[in-house]
Structure 1
């Protein structure tokens, strides 16, 4: 998994820079949503940007 931290920012978890492809694989985002995020941000984005702009299918508990 590729993760980069820019030197001009703090190392706070919300400012860490992630590869969009690796983030989508880690979180379980489908290919259509991944393409939307790549078009929106390019190859890399901060964790906060990815977290706030990702649409995921809801998971329901089955009893």
Structure 2
């Protein structure tokens, strides 16, 4: 079964939320080297979508 969804019905507030890059890195355990790369790439602020797709995080088991 399929259902038609209007683009206006989809909420994207979580992905367009603007984060401080340093706060995002602290909350998601991103190391200082990767944080410096994100700061060079975006400056002090970026959207959650940009950070999610560009940040690399080491696995917890290593």
Q: Tell me if both proteins adopt one fold, taking TM over 0.5 as the criterion.
A: yes
Give the unaligned 5+ runs of structure 1.
1-9
Residue in structure 2 matched with residue 32 of structure 1 by the alignment: 33
Distance 1:45 1:22 in 2: 11
What do you get for the CA RMSD once the two structures are aligned?
1.7
* Greater helix fraction, Structure 1 or Structure 2: 2
TM-score normalised by the chain length of structure 2: 0.76
Give structure 1 regions of 4+ aligned residues with deviation exceeding 6 angstroms: none
- Correspondence 1:13-52 to 2 at 5 A: 13-52=14-53
Which structure has the higher relative contact order (CA within 8 Å, separation 6+)? 2
Larger Rg: 2
The runs of 5 or more residues in structure 2 that have no matched partner are 1-10
Q: Deviations over 1:17-37 (max 9, x none)?
A: 000000000101000000000
Q: Tell me the TM-score normalized by structure 1.
A: 0.75
